[in-house]
Chain A
Amino acid sequence: MQHQLSKQDTLFKYLAIVPLFTLLLALAMYPLFSLGRMSFSSVSIVQGDIGSKWVGLVNYRNIFKDPIFFQAFGHTLIYVAVSVILELSLGLFFSLLVFSLKRGTLVFRTILLMPFLIPPVVNGTIWKLILNAQFGLLNKLLNQAGLPAQSILSQERTALFGIMIVTVWQWVGYNMLILYAGLQTLPKSVIEAATIDGASRKRMLFQITIPLIKPVLFVALVFRMIHAFKGFDLFYVLTGGGPGYSTEIINTYIQKVFMIQQRMGYGSAISILTIILILILFFVFQAIMERRSAK
């Protein structure tokens, strides 16, 4: 039986959310609003005071004359797409592997999860030392094997790929954990029925397991995409955006424009446009996924 709220209770319900709503407005909406306002201004710090002058759409027009912005945005999309696909594929592989083990799952899970628990800056530093062309561990091993030395982070063709490898290494355990949790919820009866019917492993994987854990896969995919779009630490530590602009992503570029160059108006415009573009991408992605699952 549904309980009818009195007028007083209804009022209290709305009053109760006022503190949270106020906090949300103060902490999230105000900075966003402030960023938006700055994006239409020329902002400078003079004599210790922040001064801003309304310039209309000038900052936004300048974005379209800035090839580095588009290059950085393109790198961001490649980075997110490739890293997330690789991470999920490997995460699925390892989760199935751990799920199939009869003993030692805790040990494997812990080992796979360890890179995720290390702070990204530390991860970046570890890999910078491994991949260092002059005295890195990788080249020492290659030398011992009689293979030519590699300078992955120093070359335009491979630098972004190198960062993706480190990202995958860092996040594969996280994906494994989420997917492993999904595997544990699979109805045993369905698996047993398929086994009795003599379904091959491949068929079991593609026609039973993956379809059944699709909601979990989708959650992992969205979470990781959101995280990957926030990528910064590894790029900052490993390459600083170089060589040239070959590993410049939108976040490293915003940091440079905003913090190093102190072009706050332009930096705000880039930030706002990036937020809009990413939101559009997410809505389109979500719509596609929903349409596919409806089918």
Chain B
Amino acid sequence: MITRKALCIALLIAAAISPLFAGGSQETAETSEPTSVVVCINESPWLPAFRDIAKQYAEETGVIIDIRAFPFATMSERGLYAATSSESEFDVITMNESMAAKFYHDGLVAPIKQIQPGYVLDKEVMTYDGLNYWDQELKYPALSGELYSFPVNGNIQLFYYRKDLYDAAGLSKPETWDDVVNAAKVIADPASNFYGYAVRGQKGHMALGWDFYPYLRGFGGDIFADAPKDFTVTMDTPEALAALSFYADLAHNYAPPGSSSIGQSEQIAMLAGGQLLQTIVVAGANAQMDDPKMSVVPGAIAYTVVPRPVGGVHASHTGVLSMGIPDNIDAARKKRAFDFLVWFTSQSVQQTFAEHGGVPIRTDAMNTKGEDSLRFLTAIQESADATVAYPRIAAWPRIDEVIESRLSEVVAGITSPAEALALMQIEITDIVADEGLL
């Protein structure tokens, strides 16, 4: 039997929760046209700049950019889950270079012509060797294909060095790796916890291998003979051995102890913490170097193109992030996402993005306006002819795992460079054969 007390409690609960339902239905009625774009993105040095720009978009259009940030390693997983589900929770998915091909190949992001027939990127938007296009015949991202995504952060590797200490030691901007090693010998003082160099030794997804690639290319080596035409593995060459031996030398003789646990965030922290003379870091980390809240050496760090070996070439790996629109969302959501991306890649927005610490993707948004804080843009322009990229194939994550593991063994001193390269030669050959690329 229901007592009066129980009845009162039930009525109170019902009264308390009824606005929830009423509000819900009201909201549904009022917001039949949702006004947000949900973006899956990675936590990275350029995220604050993206947040600033997203606020600007909301102010200008009323459309809220709902940012869902994940660690870099899990961003791709989250994007893949969403794009392979019945309906993506995200309207925009951020893809790194190695995963973009998989999204295109598997039809997980919509071709832009499906959303806006006839749309082409402005000619000032950099092409990054066709990263945002998919050639169905070649089965490879190439300019000959169709547009599938927008570049959003034109990250490339830059060489960061302590200009104040270089100047004090009478050294000029490093051009070759010999200059870098010489500066490490002259300036660094490991006994005082100040190191001459730091490689990325921590195994991850496109981490250690990504750091090593410009050395490999600079010394004249590469992973494949001529991707995407010829996937013969070329890791057992004298050039690759020279590159990896030099990399191991930097790790063992000039880097802090425990190189195997150094990732990009540790490199950035050591640079900004005044513990490191020089290293390769993404351009997007520049904002942290001059921020007195984050850096004990604001204004002391200069940027330049990644050095080359004597007799070799400059090489700077691109780390461009692109945004695609999942195919499993309705046309209205696709259109809203498309409108945001078109706006984001426009000239004025990209210039503002650069001024907030982002790395612009347009050639006409590199104006430093004479401001010292934008000096990294000059280094990006200087690196324009030196950019290189991993082969963008759907099987890359498998190959990446081999490269990351074997390189981390070299940095940890478990295997020699020659042994690691011999193993990589065998293991990568097995993978490309298994994937039908040979």
Contacts and interface: CB of A to CB of B under 8 A. Distances in A.
A and B part of one assembly: yes
Nearest to B256: A134
B77 A156 contact: no
Nearest to B85: A48
B406 interface: yes
Contact of A47 (B107, B201, B259, B411): B107
Contacts of B203: 239-244
Interface string A37-59: 00000001111101000000000
Contacts of B261: 131-134, 151, 153-154, 239
Tier of interface size on chain A: 20 to 34
Given A244-B406, A244-B408, A153 B260 contact: yes
Interface string B303-342: 0000000000000000000000001100000000000000
Interface stretch (B151-159, B218-226, B262-270, B290-298): B262-270
A260 B266 contact: no
Contact of B409 (A135, A153, A244, A263): A244
B204 interface: yes
Given A134-B266, A240-B204, A260-B397, A154 B108 contact: no
A50 B328 CA distance: 13
Contacts of A263: 398
Contacts of B397: 260-262
Nearest to B262: A134
B106 A155 contact: no
B115 to A, nearest CB: 15
A50 B398 CA distance: 20
B108 A45 contact: yes
Contacts of A134: 256-258, 261-262, 266, 269-270, 275
Given A48-B108, A240-B204, A154 B270 contact: no
A246 interface: yes
B252 interface: no
Nearest to B74: A259
Contacts of B405: 241-242, 244-245
A43 B199 CA distance: 37
Given A151-B260, A153-B258, A244 B414 contact: yes
B354 interface: no
A186 interface: no
A244 B415 contact: yes
A243 B84 contact: no
Given A48-B83, A151-B260, A155-B260, A243 B412 contact: yes
Given A239-B203, A242-B202, A244-B409, A262 B102 contact: yes
Nearest to A159: B260
A142 B13 CA distance: 59
B149 interface: no
Contacts of B132: none
B80 interface: yes
A46 B107 contact: yes
A149 B414 contact: no
A48 B256 contact: no
A243 B414 contact: yes
A203 interface: no
B84 A48 contact: yes
B266 to A, nearest CB: 6
B205 A156 contact: no
Interface string A259-283: 1111100000000000000000000
Interface in B395-431: 397-398, 401, 404-406, 408-409, 411-412, 414-415
Interface of B: 73, 76-77, 80, 83-84, 102, 105-108, 201-205, 256-262, 266, 269-270, 273, 275, 327-328, 397-398, 401, 404-406, 408-409, 411-412, 414-415
Given A151-B261, A154-B258, 19 more contacts: A45-B84, A45-B108, A47-B107, A48-B84, A132-B258, A133-B257, A133-B262, A153-B261, A154-B259, A159-B260, A240-B203, A242-B260, A243-B203, A243-B412, A243-B414, A244-B408, A260-B77, A260-B397, A262-B102
Interface of A: 44-48, 50, 131-135, 149, 151, 153-156, 159, 239-246, 256, 259-263
